[in-house]
Amino acid sequence: MRRLQLATLSLLAKRLTPSDAFPVSSFATNACKRSHYSFFRKINLCHSKSSRLYSSGTKEDEKCIYLDYNGTTPIDKRVVEAMMPYLTHHFGNPSSSHFYGDEPKKAISKARKSILGLMFSNKEYIESLEHQNEIIFTSCGTEADHLAIHLAIESHKAKFENSGSIPHIITSNVEHPAVEEYLKALEQEGKIQVTYVPVNTEGMVSKEDMIKVIDEKKDDTILVTLMLANNESGALQPVREVADYCNELGILFHTDAAQAVGKVSLAMDECEVGLGSHVDMVTIVGHKFGAPKGIGCLYVRRGSFQKNDDMVQPSRFMLLGGGQEGGRRAGTENVPYIVALGTAADIMTEQKDGNFQWQVNARHMEEMRKRLHRNLVAGLGADIVRENGPCLYSDRLPNTLSVGLKGINSGDLLLNIGQQVACAAGSACHASGGGVSAILKAMSVPMEYARGTLRLSLGPTTSREDIDKASEIIIDEAKRQLDIQ
């Protein structure tokens, strides 16, 4: 049993898959199950009252303040608890027709409804099986983005087969690499043409510019893909307005909403806020709002591939094999992680004093972000500190502060404070390339500020104490680089 307990700790600390740490058969007996859950209750997996992460619980962990929530989020305690039965005694394959397949199958169905709950308030809609099948589970956001683009191409294949023309896709010049690099690869292969609409100095693409390009290329345009929120600048894009226009022309619209879940509205009902009712495909990523890495999904609105006479229902998908996900994504479902994604969605939509939990979180994060910015300006001066991104708070994520520090090298700063404050110079997905972020270049951020830009992204548990301490550490290191006493 001691060996089992050590294996469980190893699983949590190293984020291994269950099979790496221990065989499922280790939990075959009821006695072992009881011991496992008893042991698990003794492990303190709770988030602290600050934004410091749990891991091994050492003093070293407590020294570092976490301000990189756009990179990834800690797994919520309730999510871990919801996963555990499906790593232990509900280990069956959901495709199995026997007893052990029943609970996993029900759990996947429940998770679909939970994710729909992020976008819809209509209970009848959520309970409808045909609408639950609008959710396709994937291994990550990258796969979901690729699948959306793939489906758009497949649904128009008949139109372009003998036409002599090439399918056209419209996007912005600040998309996540999952979209940008896939489009570039397809374009290099001669399979598509792409128009990249530039953003303004606030990091936002104007709806007028998007609509202008759509009008110019509408005969061959098969898809417009536009992220809802930028992972570096926090800028919100005019997804609703552009999707509405695409719908009028019968053009598919996809948005990568990875950074938006838990921060802004994803409502797809007939209401004045959120995505609106004309977005066809939405990418959602679990590890951005309290679920583990390795799980995401693509929402595909029913009837999307019947928007015009040139489209057909896609019959060839990216991953071929078994009939999982209604034949749209082969591979045995990752039940524990799907449960985790659904549970994280449920947490976001819990009601608290007449508000959703995500709305309560968003207000707190915005207050902390403003405090952080004020602290930096007070400590270094308005001439040193430049806030990148939209001027209006309503046009940006509530938790994200992209701030340029004039005369500072952000790489050196991060190297020197990295054991005390966990933050980033830009997107974690761009980080390996080095140099100034492509997002900052697209926004025409002056080079003296771009070189010193930090992306500080906060979470629901980030406290005033965390903000004040992190500010002090950043200010001290910046003053050291600037040789200011």
> Helix 335-348 and helix 77-87: axis angle, to 10°?
150
| Structure tokens that stand for 158 in this block | 């008949």
- Residue ranges of E strands in 114-239: 135-138, 168-172, 193-197, 221-225
DSSP states along 411-441:
HHHHHHHTTTEE-BSS-TTTGGG-SS-HHHH
> Can you tell me the distance from the alpha carbon of 431 to that of 422, in angstroms, rounded to the nearest whole number?
14
For residue 282, what are the β-bridge partners?
255, 299
Contact 378, 451 (CB under 8 A): no
With vertex at residue 227, the alpha carbon angle to CA 401 and CA 211, rounded to the nearest 5 degrees, is 120
Give the DSSP H/E element, type plus range, for residue 66.
strand 65-66
Can you count the helices (H) and strands (E) in the chain? 19, 14
| Buried b or exposed e, range 369-388, using 16+ CB within 10 angstroms | bebbbebbbebbeeebbbbb
Q: Which residues are catalytic?
A: 429
CA 378 to chain CA centroid, nearest Å = 32
| Structure tokens that stand for 344 in this block | 């994280």
